[in-house]
Amino acid sequence: MKRLSTVLLLSSVSTWAIASQAQSSPSQATTQNIVAVSFNAAVLQTAEAQKEMAALQTKFAPRQAQLKALNDDVEALRKQISNTNDKLSDTEMATREQALENKEKQLQRQAEDFRNDSQSESQEVFQRVAQKVYAFLQAYSQQHGYSAVIERGSDAAPVVWYAANNMDITEQLVKAYNVQSGTTPTGPPAGPKSGSQKTLPDAPAHQ
């Protein structure tokens, strides 16, 4: 009787173990089909986006140079007024201060226009490429049998608190997109692994 009880107990334990394994296997299989991607970073790392962003930098380079020259003029006027403050008449001082104020307003206005125009056009580039990458991601995910693709975010602003490196398909997605788009990368990926969008260099700061 004691032996029978022992056999029944061992049989129950074995049955429980098999049932537990059967229940966990589908879950593990499903988990393996879930991957993560840093979408914004992927968009910016594509050869297409980098090529268009480089073209924008070239386009806005003359305006940026003009802003730097204007900023240098403002700094020179400030220094001139500071060094000759006690040597000028009230009328001459007022004239130079008015000239400085006009230059500062001009710099502020042109800097704001530059910032708004460059950010607007870089945003248009990002959105245009992002739409293509999103459509490609749908086909790419179906092709590889993914059950779900989740946004990983960045180290500074994570969307998922943890994702193993082998779950991150950002690099593979970028390479596959570059192949199908026919755009050759000009160098190593420059986009940060983050969710932030890349913009053109800022205009010179005015004080």
Contact predicate 194/39, CB 8 Å: no
Q: Compute the distance between CA of residue 102 and CA of residue 119 in angstroms, rounded to an integer.
A: 26
- Give the pTM: 0.70
Helix (H) or strand (E) holding 48: helix 47-83
- 25 pLDDT above the threshold of 70: no
For residue range 183-193, list pLDDT tens digits in order: 777 655 444 44
90-144 helix and 170-181 helix, angle to the nearest 10 degrees: 90
In sequence order, which residues have a C-beta less than 8 Å from that of residue 90 and are 6 or more positions away? Answer: none
- Which of 16-30, 49-63, 156-170: highest mean pLDDT? 49-63
- 132 pLDDT above the threshold of 50: yes
- Lowest model confidence (mean pLDDT) among 7-16, 71-80, 116-125, 164-173: 7-16
pLDDT score, position 203:
44
- 4 pLDDT above the threshold of 70: no
- 61 pLDDT above the threshold of 50: yes
Q: Which amino acid is located at 13 in the chain? A: V
From residue 127, how far is each of 16, 36, 52, 195, 198 by CA, in Å?
Answer: 53, 21, 12, 14, 12
pLDDT score, position 194:
41
Contact predicate 191/41, CB 8 Å: yes
Closest listed residue to residue 114, CA positions, set 61, 44, 54, 55:
61
Our measurement of the distance from residue 35's CA atom to the centroid of its chain's CA atoms, rounded to an integer in Å, reads: 19
